[in-house]
Amino acid sequence: MADVGQVLELAAIDGKTVLTPEQKAALVTSLKNKLEGLVAQHTDVLENLTPKVRKRVDVLRDIQTKHDELEAKFIEERAALEAKYQKLYEPLYSKRYDIVTGVAEVDGITKGGDETLVDQKEKGVPDFWLNAMKNNEVLAEEIRKRDDEALKYLRNIKWCKTDDPQGFKIEFSFYTNPFFKNSVLTKTYHMIDGDEPILEKAVGTEIEWYPGKCLTQKVVEKKPKKGSKDTKPIIKTEDCESFFNFFNPPQVPDNDEEIDEATAEQLQEQMEQDYDIGSTIRDKIIPHAVSWFTGEAQDEDYDSTILEDDLNSSDDDEDDEEDEEGE
């Protein structure tokens, strides 16, 4: 039998999961068990009720059970609906990729004629993903000026689910570039199932930097200490801030390794920040890339504005239809 708590959480949080018949049954059972568990924890409250009030509360519990059954059905249908539309998005993402990379041309643009030499060389939409990410506040904080040249070679970003129900993988595809050998860099988030999704660990691709091109390290020249016999400057390599540190995420120590409270808090903060970056790319940048590229999505209410516009447009259409019928 499936872990009912796990089934409930993965369905509630990850609407793209398609539930099996066993999981569907477990979902209803889980909702009931959660309620019964809460009641068991507060038996003192029930025991202190008068018989009449207790009877009313029992009826309310029956109503709650029916509500939970409907809620389970809602979660199931939402999961199926989101899975359906995720498949419908794919052809749109493919068309976007073709236009951005110059594989396909849009209607109304013809080769030759008044095209300048620059126009002929300029294919697709240059720096599309770089500008889309830099227009997002969360990602802009991670991208340094020295990262720009490497990120201009970014060809596409996409994501997919992993075998872990709540986990996901983000894939960055790059053109051949002078910075690193990898054509694809990935970041995979492994989650722990439970009452709330918990990040277990994140794994990134090891970047194969070309000599002297590593963006996550810098060479520092330091003067020798006063009184030192060696007067030559000391050359050191130090880690530095870069977007590409995203592929070298903070790691959780082994169980045998003890860490103090301050270190643990710092690690938790780093992991939360890392997950925030990953979820921002997955949930905002990838589905709304052109709106981030143009800057339209910088408005905090962007998503809700789109929804309101769609709803208003739908209402207007219905009003028009009613007016036509009235005539």
Residue 78 is predicted with a pLDDT of 84
pLDDT in tens, 118-130: 666 788 999 999 9
Select the more confidently predicted residue: 281 or 312. Answer: 281
- Report pLDDT digits (tens) over 259-296: 778 888 888 899 999 999 999 999 999 999 999 999 99
Residue 318 has pLDDT above 60, yes or no: no
Token pair belonging to 173? 């595809």
Residues near 227 by Cβ (< 8 Å), separated by ≥ 6? none
Rounded CA separation 24/36 (Å)? 19
Task: Please give the pLDDT value at position 12.
Answer: 45
Q: What are phi and psi of 297, to 5 degrees?
A: -80, 0
Report how far residue 88's alpha carbon sits from residue 198's, in angstroms, rounded to the nearest whole number.
Answer: 29
The reported pLDDT for the residue numbered 3 is 45
Average pLDDT over residues 1-24: 49
Which residues fall within 8 angstroms of residue 124, CB to CB, at 6 or more apart?
99, 100, 101, 102, 103
Mean pLDDT of 228-248: 86
More confident residue, 24 or 107: 107
Mean pLDDT, the chain, rounded, equals 81
**Can you give the pTM of this predicted structure?**
0.71
Residue 301 has what pLDDT? 55
> How far is the C-alpha of 100 from the C-alpha of 103, rounded, in Å?
8
For residues 224 and 233, the answer to whether their CB atoms sit within 8 Å is yes
CB 167 within 8 A of CB 149: no
pLDDT at 257 > cutoff 70: no
The pLDDT of residue 202 is above 60:
yes
Do 242 and 185 meet the contact criterion of CB atoms below 8 Å apart? no
Q: Residue 161: what are its φ and ψ, rounded to 5°?
A: -80, 160
The residue type at 25: A
Domain with CATH 3.30.1120.90 in the chain: 125-251+263-299
Q: What is the pLDDT of residues 36-93, one digit of tens each?
A: 666 566 667 888 889 999 999 999 999 999 999 998 899 889 878 878 988 999 999 9
- Which residue blocks in the chain are alpha helix, DSSP H? 4-13, 21-41, 43-47, 51-101, 117-121, 128-134, 137-140, 148-151, 261-280, 289-294, 302-326
Q: Which fold has domain 125-251+263-299?
A: Arylsulfatase, C-terminal domain (3.30.1120)
Do residues 69 and 31 touch, judged by C-beta distance below 8 A?
A: yes
In sequence order, the β-bridge partners of residue 201 are: 190
Is residue 326 over pLDDT 70?
A: no
37 and 68 Cβ atoms separated by less than 8 Å: no
Confidence (pLDDT) at 32: 62
- Summarize the confidence of residues 208-232 as an average pLDDT: 83
Query: Comparing 31-45, 85-99, 180-194, 217-231, which segment has the lowest mean pLDDT?
Result: 31-45
* Cβ(274)–Cβ(138) below 8 Å: no
> Looking at residue 163, what is its pLDDT?
81
